[in-house]
Structure 1
């Protein structure tokens, strides 16, 4: 059942209850009024009976034909007296309003030989009450009709807006993010259209950003593969080729101790460079240091190596007791700090960097600040910032980046800790 039909049923039920209550009040008031009217009518019947008995000439038909609630009926010779017969709704209403005792009639034999029937007749009162009930029903019916028409008009306007919104959402679910709602109508409709249009604009911008980010990540992936291939071929491959050549040379100079000793030293030198190259390559691919050192010591080693390479004063402060973290969380934190320091080296032009890792209650906070050139916010994030935001999301935390021209950069991460 549609919403309009449910509203119509509720309104009809409400009007039915109100109508029944009004009819009950009307009938209750009619009972009191009828009681007073019948008492007056009985008094009139008593007066007419006494008048007819004393002086029949005063009881003329033209004087009694317009009396309310009293009927004077002249009877012919041999005609029997009878009460007015009522049927249908009039009979039901008469039984409801009038007692049967009130329906008795008086038949008088006048001195001049005429016979007359004088009786209380409730038909006038029944007609009045019935007219009042009809007026009440007509008024309630008209009010109900106007209410239903008004509700239909209002609901149709609202349903039209919902239909437009549903159609627009279906198009959005199909990937058509250029759909927009018309900014017109009542203030609520304009507000809804404004929010919907901002949502679709944000979704379209997010899809554009994701497309660009995906393309950039693919390009970075190809660059990393190219760098890895060049490193293996140009650096490590050359050392392996030299080691192989020197191993072959040893076979030829086994009887020359000096040459053998020099070749062995060169082999040791090449093997050491080869090992260093492999360590650097593995460190770029995965921070192996996290498998052997606690997080605080891994951070200290990373900061020390970065300070040595960049020549920038970088200080690290770590809480005395850090909570235990899972391996993925430690990797995300390590990579986030590594990416932040890389951005400082590339863009900040800073001479001082401060890194702080704090355990505050149920949260772990990482703060990185520099005294570099800064930038005006907002700024379109690049791959590095996107990767940091994604790592913060993976940690279930919130990452905030604040920067002002000449005031440096500030990066703050707050991640919740699982309740133990």
Structure 2
């Protein structure tokens, strides 16, 4: 049951209770008043009976027709009287139960017969009219009250409906939702607080996005600096050591021990150099500064396929729009994280990567043939990182999966926000 119907029901019950109490008080007071008047009318009836017995002419019609609460009936001259209804009979029994219905029949000196009795019909009619007026008044008051309540509640429910709609917008991430200002002070107060809350949430969201963007940019700068340091310093030292070992091997090839030592040093340096190259590649893809995005992604797929033994098929468009260094880094890292998730969770044997531009948008799709999943929960750090990178680029990241059908990652980005 809605709030409006509950309020209407409560108000109706209240009016019924008040009306019932008022009717009971009215009947109680009317009963007392009518009994006092009809007791006095009984004295008049006794007087008329005595007068009629002494002088029949005392009951002339022009003398008795205007008497209140007294009925003079001549059986020899029957008259048509209206039949009282159930309400009138009940009121008569309630107001004056001791009243005689027809009275005692008197035989007068002139041979005629007459019945003189107390008649409560006038009082019954008055009380009946008062009851009808009271019921009509309560009905009108109830109707006006229900209309006023309906109008007031409708206004309040309209505000609640607007609030519910705005809250649903906020729950969907639309923090631009605002409530209009109404005429009532309470609704203005509510709308003001909600609008202030939505503005604060929007401001906090923007600040968090800016902070996240700054943190990601700082992380990329730190990785770049570390990668450059490893590449320029330690990498050069390792290359020099390896060159010296080649020289040592060339001049001491006749000594077996020295030759074996040189071979071991050369192998260790090779492994160390390969490890540093992988570390540099993971920390920061140096090739992004020298290659276009499509070439860098193709090289990433080849290295990933060689490392993990999973087939990686690339479909990369050559006519990509100009992309800034920061956007390239985000796209590269997002794809790198997607491929890492394939290795960790998908149990796939094949991955397809497609990158193309069209309709003023750039689209990246990564599809694997792994085990898939029933549903996607919030995800771990990797998935959250990909979503945050997509949001920083102003794009939309979608994940589709089905048990046994693998997982599809789809990223759609506006071209306008990717330029240098």
What interval of TM-score do these two structures reach, taking the shorter chain for normalisation?
Answer: 0.5 to 0.7
CA separation of 1:136 and 1:81: change in aligned 2, threshold 3 A: closer
CA separation of 1:101 and 1:70: change in aligned 2, threshold 3 A: closer
In structure 1, the residue matched to 2:84 is 86
Residues 214-241 of structure 1: per-residue CA shift (max 9 Å, x gap)? 3222212221221221122123223433
Q: Aligned partners of 2:82, 2:102: CA distance in 1, in Å?
A: 11
In structure 1, the residue matched to 2:59 is 59
TM-score, length of structure 2 as denominator length:
0.55
TM-score, length of structure 1 as denominator length:
0.55
In structure 2, the residue matched to 1:385 is none
Correspondence list, 1:177-196, <5 A: 177-196=175-194
Q: Aligned partners of 1:43, 1:82: CA distance in 2, in Å?
A: 27
Correspondence list, 1:336-347, <5 A: none
Tell me if structure 2 keeps the 8 A contact 1:83–1:103.
no
In structure 2, the residue matched to 1:19 is 19
- Which SS does the other structure have where 1:118 is aligned? strand
The reply to whether residue 36 of structure 1 matches residue 36 of structure 2 is yes
In structure 2, the residue matched to 1:315 is none
CA separation of 1:43 and 1:82: change in aligned 2, threshold 3 A: farther
Q: Aligned partners of 1:211, 1:73: CA distance in 2, in Å?
A: 102
Tell me if structure 2 keeps the 8 A contact 1:83–1:105.
no
Residues 7-50 of structure 1: per-residue CA shift (max 9 Å, x gap)? 11111111011111111111111221222122112111111111
* Aligned length in residues: 267
The reply to whether residue 159 of structure 1 matches residue 146 of structure 2 is no
The reply to whether residue 232 of structure 1 matches residue 230 of structure 2 is yes
Tell me if structure 2 keeps the 8 A contact 1:103–1:119.
yes
Within the candidate set 196, 218, 221, 1:220 is matched to: 218
CA separation of 1:41 and 1:164: change in aligned 2, threshold 3 A: same
Correspondence list, 1:126-275, <5 A: 126-245=124-243
Q: Aligned partners of 1:4, 1:246: CA distance in 2, in Å?
A: 92
Q: Aligned partners of 2:31, 2:218: CA distance in 1, in Å?
A: 95
Structure 2: give runs of 5+ residues left out of the alignment: 253-257, 259-264, 284-420
Tell me if structure 1 keeps the 8 A contact 2:69–2:121.
yes
- Which SS does the other structure have where 1:191 is aligned? helix
Cα RMSD of the aligned pairs, angstroms, is 3.6
- Which SS does the other structure have where 1:153 is aligned? helix
Tell me if structure 2 keeps the 8 A contact 1:172–1:179.
yes
Residues 97-130 of structure 1: per-residue CA shift (max 9 Å, x gap)? 3325533502111112222110111211111111
Q: Aligned partners of 1:17, 1:158: CA distance in 2, in Å?
A: 27
Tell me if structure 1 keeps the 8 A contact 2:102–2:116.
no
> Deviation of residue 171 (structure 1)?
3.1
Q: Aligned partners of 1:182, 1:106: CA distance in 2, in Å?
A: 81
> Deviation of residue 245 (structure 1)?
4.8
In structure 1, the residue matched to 2:94 is 96
- Which SS does the other structure have where 2:100 is aligned? helix
Q: Aligned partners of 1:86, 1:100: CA distance in 2, in Å?
A: 17
- Which SS does the other structure have where 1:53 is aligned? helix
- Which SS does the other structure have where 2:179 is aligned? coil
In structure 1, the residue matched to 2:106 is 108
- Which SS does the other structure have where 1:63 is aligned? helix
> Deviation of residue 135 (structure 1)?
1.3
Tell me if structure 1 keeps the 8 A contact 2:72–2:117.
yes
Residues 268-292 of structure 1: per-residue CA shift (max 9 Å, x gap)? xxx9xx9xxx9xx9xxx9xxxxxxx
Q: Aligned partners of 1:146, 1:155: CA distance in 2, in Å?
A: 14
- Which SS does the other structure have where 1:66 is aligned? coil
CA separation of 1:127 and 1:41: change in aligned 2, threshold 3 A: same
In structure 2, the residue matched to 1:263 is none
Tell me if structure 2 keeps the 8 A contact 1:72–1:116.
yes
